[in-house]
Amino acid sequence: MQFRLETRVRSPAWMNLVLPVAAVSITLVICSGLIAAAGADVFAAYGALFKGAFGNRFNFIETLVKAAPLIFTGLAVAVAFRAKFWNIGAEGQLLAGAMAAAFIGAREGLPAWSLVPLMIAGGAAAGGIWASVPALLKVRFKVDDVVATLMLNFVMFYGMMALLSGPWKDSLSGYPDSPDIRMDAEFPILLEPTRLHLGVLLAGVGALLVWLLMTRTTFGFAIRAVGENARAAAHGGIPVNRVVFFTAVLSGGLAGLAGVGEVAGLHFQVMATLSPGYGYTGIVIAMLARLNPIGVIPSAIFFAAIATGAETMSRATGVPVFFADVIQGASLICMLVALLFTQYRVRVQTLARNA
Amino acid sequence: MPTDVASGKRPLLSMRGIEKRFGALRANASVDLELSSGEVLGLLGENGAGKTTLMNVLFGMYSADAGSIEIDGRPMNIARPADALDAGVGMVHQHFHLVPRHSVLENLMVGEPGRGLKLDAESALVRLREIASRYGLELDPETLVGDLTVGEQQRLEIVKALFRGARILILDEPTSVLTPQQTESLFRAIRAMATDGVGIIFISHKLNEVIAITDRLAVMRRGRVVAQVENDATLTRQKLAELMCGHPILPPEKRPTESGRTLLKLAGIDVELGPDHRRKLSEVTLDVHAGEIVGVAGVSGNGQRELAEVVAGVISPSHGAIEVDGQAVHASTPRGMQRLGVAHIPEDRMGAGLLTTLPLTDSVMLPLAHKSPFSRFGWINRKAVRKFVLEQIEKFDIRTEGPDVRTGTLSGGNLQKALLARELALDPLVLVAAQPTRGLDVAAVEFVHAQFLKLRAEGRGVLLISEDLEELFAISDRIVVMYEGRIVGDLDASVTTPAEVGLLMAGAKAA
């Protein structure tokens, strides 16, 4: 008996749903080995994880709050990857958006009503501008986008740390934190007394808008065409470089909004620990969602649930919280393997087939 | 090397009941095929008829769902190309599998079982010389493959197959890249190999060539072998075409037209590409008038692609002037040229024309999506798009399950129809078509030609770039010949001959 891969004529639609679910299930099975190795009961551990993420209204809302920045970074990556602009820089673009929001939100001179809209616009613009740097390098000088976007994350992070340790340091705090934003700049809470803030709603609306953009507009059409076959797109009259550039800016803007939400809805300042790698997790989220903007929502909620649930699990069973990172990594690999099946089918062939 | 010519009672190759399915499609439906030693078998059929699938089964690229393969009466299990090579089956693909930076000799030895870690160059050289002199397949062993002409690369592929002991040789559309003179020399080699007992399967769409070189013909249609005929004096092109399509084919009717105003004018166009500014076009001057089909002949790689891309606005000339319908073109872009009335069918229809991984709709809408009524203010009118695509599918008889299937699943002829449909929807003054019928079957070729002739009758211009002289002579009014980026001849199609064009293609006048 022998296995071989054959090309599929088309990939069936049900795969969009089945593959992520299968990838996640296999991830959980694989990771149960680690739970056992940590000396805990597998079912008890996953039970605690689920309870911690969805067990009651409070936990569920915490999961949603955690999902908001992940939805934005997931969208950022999904949009960019569609155009084959490999934006690994959502992390830096998020920080750019967060810093812009924190800067605007702390301005005293501005009228109170203008703060939230200005923070949103300013944060998106900052993320977009930061993403325009590698985009310009790519379309003008063919600089590799993976390397450029990734490296700029560190530039942004250490640039931010330099500001926070010096000129932008909150004089009242001993830590490298920025001053708090004004009360009027905080996102309204949608459901007292939880932390469900406007940013969560914005993330959901954002996913819908991005989906409309990708599927219903000529710009979305151009993005898909450029991503799937840039040469054919160019021959067909689409200005490829311009499309790549504006896709990158859009992607950066979405990542910037993730930062705005974290500052205006949750932390009210920027500090070193603002993002525990939301930009990178966005890559995994987008891949798991197969770059579908609507799919980004459940995908982001899944990763948020793992993160919030891991703490409960850790307290209940002693499995370290780093387990969440393992699940994240393993699910990306499982999804990448699963994606193979959209292109190929496995055929089992027996050797005795001659008459 | 072939050995037992005399024992020829038993067929050299016998394929029985070959079945191959792709999903719902039965690509090969219990196909039987036999080949004798020393026989040249023509394998004919429209695109999607199952020729390539059958040959891929024989060469071990696919495994059949059912059926058996016998060589010299011995059952063979061919699961991968290596098994096929061991069994004495060689294949020369349309696209060559050679290493450009290696020499002829090194390419020959790829995949040879060396002695330990050492490659046996001495004996390889001896065998190369022997094969070369025996079949007239002369090659310099030290030349780098990248420096060989396309014809020589093909020769090397044939030598490679013989070198590995092929007694069955599959040639997939071997003449599509050759000049008439090169084709003649290929045919001499085929005859020499057949005399020596090699069985040859010759796949081609060019009926004249098939009739010229084969002993026997197998015609495939919809996965089955529908006819096997001896190639004797009674066989005609017309009859073969009918066997392939299942219905009679009428040759295109070319009515005389008055050629009118100049629609496309190129004056002194130079193109230099790449970091080393390699000259791809030199002082190209060319007019296309209204109601005229201008054919561009040339061996592939002599600047035809660059010519098409300059006219389509994909690349900008470094010198020279372009005018479309009297309007000077300054900084040209594909969309800019579209606006002026130039449509373009690129040579590489999968790579530069269509979006193979996306739905057919997207491929068809590529140059049209931004136009009314398909979109307003950047918002796509999905109803209008769907209606339009369905209309095109109907009008051009594009065989597909619907507008939502992945473009790449369509057969070659249908892909070309889709591309043609969308470029004609641009309502062009001038259509630039590069190799528009390459790889298409007879019916699809006739269809494409009919569209070109319709454009001509409507007073538009067509610049038809082709390596198929039969095609150029069939529908062109004028034929220009390209050699090394220059136009070396501008001939009246009704006066010149294929032999004259062939000599110009080979550079007879350029020196």
Contact B406 A229 (CB under 8 A): no
Residue A106 has pLDDT above 90, yes or no: yes
The answer to whether position B257 is within a domain reads yes
- Full domain range(s) for residue B442: 250-341+428-511
Is residue B4 in a domain?
no
Q: For residues A297 and A207, is the Cβ–Cβ distance under 8 A?
A: yes
Looking at every residue in chain B, the average pLDDT score rounds to: 87
Statement: residue B249 has pLDDT above 60? yes
> What pLDDT, on the 0 to 100 scale, is given for residue B353?
93
**Encoded tokens for A5:** 């891969």
The confidence score (pLDDT) of residue A190 equals 92
Residue of A nearest to B404 (CA): A10
Q: CATH code at B94?
A: 3.40.50.300
The bridge status of strand B478-483 relative to strand B461-465 is: unpaired
The pLDDT of residue B429 is above 70: yes
B414 and B456 assigned to the same domain: no
Q: Report whether pLDDT(A350) > 60.
A: no
A48-89 pLDDT, tens per residue?
999 999 999 999 999 999 999 999 999 999 999 999 999 999
Is the Cβ pair A218, B25 closer than 8 Å?
no
- Name residues 386-405 of chain B within 8 A of A (Cβ): 405
Average pLDDT score over residue span B239-266: 77
In this complex, do B366 and A232 lie within 8 Å of one another by their Cβ atoms? yes
Q: Please check the confidence at residue A246 and state whether its pLDDT lies above 50.
A: yes
> What pLDDT is attached to residue B176?
74
For residue B7, tell me if it sits in a domain: no
Same domain, residue pair B412 and B386: yes
Q: Is B8 within a domain?
A: no
Residue B286 lies in a domain: yes
Q: Sort out which chain B residues have CB atoms less than 8 A from A10's CB and list them.
A: 405-406, 409
Q: Is B44 helix (H, G, I), strand (E, B) or coil?
A: strand
**pLDDT of B308 above 80:** yes
Q: Which residue of A has its CA nearest to B65?
A: A353
Average pLDDT over residues B3-25: 74
Q: Give the per-residue pLDDT at A193.
A: 87
- For residues B495 and B453, give the distance between their C-alpha atoms in angstroms, rounded to a whole number: 20
Coil, helix or strand at residue B68 = strand
Q: Please report the pLDDT score of residue B455 as a whole number.
A: 94
State how far residue B319 is from chain A, nearest Cα, in angstroms. Answer: 21
Q: How far apart are CA B493 and CA A199, in angstroms?
A: 71
Question: B311: nearest CA in chain A?
Answer: A235
Q: Which residues in chain B have their CB less than 8 angstroms from residue A237's CB? A: 333-335, 338, 366-367
Least confident piece of the model among A101-110, A304-313, B109-118, B387-396: B109-118
Omega prior to A193 cis, within 30 of 0: yes
Cβ–Cβ gap A355/B68 under 8 Å = yes
B362/A9 CB distance under 8 A: no
Give phi and psi for B448, each to the nearest 5: -60, -45
Q: Reply yes or no on whether the pLDDT at B439 is more than 90.
A: no
CATH number (domain holding residue A301): 1.10.3470
Which tokens hold the place of B307? Answer: 């010519």
Q: Tell me the sheet residues that pair with B162.
A: none
As a whole-number percent, the residues of chain A with pLDDT over 90 amount to 74
Q: Which of B66, B14, B57, B59 is nearest to B36 (CA)?
A: B14
- Flag whether pLDDT at A342 surpasses 80: no
Residue B255 has pLDDT above 80, yes or no: no
The domain tally of chain B equals 3
Q: Can you read off the two tokens belonging to residue B426?
A: 């641009």
The string of pLDDT tens digits covering residues B349-407 is: 888 999 988 999 999 999 999 998 999 999 999 999 999 999 999 999 888 888 988 89
Question: Are B67 and B171 within one domain?
Answer: yes
Question: Are residues B205 and B257 located together in one domain of the fold?
Answer: no
Could you tell me the pLDDT band of residue B467, with boundaries at 50, 70 and 90? confident
Residues of B whose CB is below 8 A from A235: 312, 314, 334, 344, 346, 352-353
Residue B393, both tokens: 């599918």
- Please identify among residues 350-369 of chain B the ones whose CB lies closer than 8 Å to any CB of chain A: 351-358, 362, 365-367, 369
pLDDT at A223: 97
Domain shared by B169 and B63, yes or no? yes
Q: What is the mean pLDDT of residues B294-301?
A: 89
- The answer to whether B29 and B189 are in contact (CB under 8 A) is no
Q: Please confirm whether the linkage preceding B373 is cis (ω < 30° from 0).
A: yes
Q: Name the pTM for this structure.
A: 0.80
Lowest mean pLDDT among A43-52, B90-99, B377-386, B448-457: B90-99
Question: Residues A27, A29, A35, A37: is their CA dihedral positive or negative?
Answer: negative
pLDDT in tens, B95-137: 788 888 889 988 888 766 655 556 678 888 888 899 988 888 8
A-interface mutation test, from B333, B355, B361, most A Cβ less than 10 A away: B355
Establish if A36 belongs to a structural domain: yes
Could you tell me if residue B1 is inside a domain?
no
- Mean pLDDT check: name the lowest of A214-228, A341-355, B275-289, B408-422: A341-355
Kindly state whether residue A120 falls inside one of the protein's structural domains: yes
Q: What count of other Cβ atoms lies within 10 Å of the Cβ of residue A231?
A: 15
Tell me the residue type at B123. Answer: S
Chain B residues closer than 8 Å to A225 by CB: 355, 358, 362, 366
What's the rounded Cα separation, in Å, for the pair B422 and B360? 11
- The domain boundary, picked from B196, B220, B245, lies at B245
Please determine, for residue A98, whether its predicted confidence score (pLDDT) is greater than 60.
yes
Residues of B in contact with A217 (CB under 8 A): 375, 378-380
CA distance A89 to chain B (A): 27
Does one domain contain both B47 and B188?
yes
- Residue B275 in contact with partner chain A when CB distance is under 8 A: no
- Does residue A313 form part of some domain? yes
Name residues 284-303 of chain B within 8 A of A (Cβ). Answer: none
Q: Using one digit for the tens of pLDDT, what is the confidence trace for A314-334?
A: 998 888 888 888 988 898 899
Cα separation of B66 and B78, whole Å?
Answer: 12
Measured at the CA of B365, the angle between CA B364 and CA B367, to 5 degrees, comes to: 105
Asked whether the beta carbons of B220 and B44 are under 8 A apart, the reply is yes
B103 closest CA partner among B176, B156, B34? B156
B359 and B219 assigned to the same domain = no
Q: Are strands B199-203 and B40-45 parallel, antiparallel or unpaired?
A: parallel
Based on the domain organization, do B450 and B497 belong to the same domain? yes
Q: Best-predicted range by mean pLDDT among B19-23, B159-163, B388-392? A: B388-392
* Cross-chain residue pair B334–A237, CB shorter than 8 Å: yes
State the pairing for strand pair B89-92/B379-380: unpaired
Domain termination residue (choose one: B245, B262, B287):
B245
User: Residue A355 domain-assigned?
Assistant: no
| B166 φ, ψ (degrees, to nearest 5) | -70, 130
B3 inside domain:
no
- Counting residues of chain B whose pLDDT is more than 70, the rounded percentage is 94
Percent pLDDT > 70 in chain A is: 95
Residue A117, in any domain of the structure: yes
* Per-residue pLDDT at B42 exceeds 60: yes
Tell me if B355 and A225 make a contact (CB, 8 A cut-off): yes
User: Does B406 lie in the same domain as B330?
Assistant: no
> Predicted ipTM?
0.84
Of A4, A225, A354, the CB nearest to B366: A225
Indicate whether B362 and B474 sit together in one domain.
no
Confidence (pLDDT) at B61: 86
Q: Tell me how crowded residue A47 is: count the other CB atoms within 10 A of its CB.
A: 17
> Which residue has better confidence, B82 or A181?
A181
Q: What tokens does B342 get?
A: 């130039």
CB B408 within 8 A of CB A9: no
Could B355 and A229 be called an inter-chain contact, meaning their C-beta atoms sit closer than 8 Å? yes
Q: Is A238 in contact with B356 (Cβ distance < 8 A)?
A: no
Q: Which residue has better confidence, B439 or B204? A: B204
Is B409 touching A (CB cutoff 8 A)?
yes
In this predicted structure, what is the pLDDT of residue A355? Answer: 35
**CA gap A24, A13 in Å, rounded:** 18
> Among residues B33, B81, B317, which one has the least CA distance to residue B199?
B33
Mean of the per-residue pLDDT values of chain A:
91
Distance (Å, whole) CA B361 – CA B366: 9
For residue B259, what pLDDT is reported? 67
**Which one of A212, A229, A240 makes the best mutation probe of the B interface by having the most chain B beta carbons within 10 Å?**
A229
Closest partner residue to A234 (CB to CB) among B63, B314, B370 is: B314
In a domain, B2, yes or no: no
Give the β-pairing of A344-349 and B74-76: unpaired
Mean pLDDT over A133-156 rounds to 96
Cα B153 from Cα B96, distance rounded (Å) = 7
* Inter-chain touch A232–B354, beta carbons under 8 Å: yes
Q: What's the domain range around A229?
A: 2-349
Structural domain contains residue A354: no
Domain end among B372, B402, B427: B427
pLDDT confidence of residue A123: 98
Q: Is A4 in Cβ contact with B355 (below 8 Å)?
A: no
Residue B2 scores a pLDDT above 50: no
Query: Do B500 and B388 share a structural domain?
Result: no
Q: Give A57-81 as a DSSP string.
A: HHHHHHHHHHHHHHHHHHHHHHHHH
Residue written as tokens 């090579």? B85
B250: exposed, middle or buried (C-beta count within 10 Å: 0-12, 13-18, 19+)? Answer: exposed
Are both B334 and B355 inside the same structural domain? no
Interface test with A, best of B22, B52, B349, B366 (most A CBs within 10 A): B366
Total domains present in chain A? 1
H or E stretch at A129: helix A112-141
For B63, the closest chain A residue by CA position comes to A349
Q: Of B68, B334, B370, which is closest to A235 when you measure between CB atoms?
A: B334
Residue A352, pLDDT > 50, answer no
Residues B40 and A196: their CA atoms lie apart, in Å, by 78
* Contact: B380, A217; criterion CB under 8 Å: yes
CA-wise closest residue to B477 among B300, B271, B222, B257: B257
User: How much is the pLDDT for B485?
Assistant: 92
By Cβ distance, the residue of B79, B366, B375 closest to A236 is B366
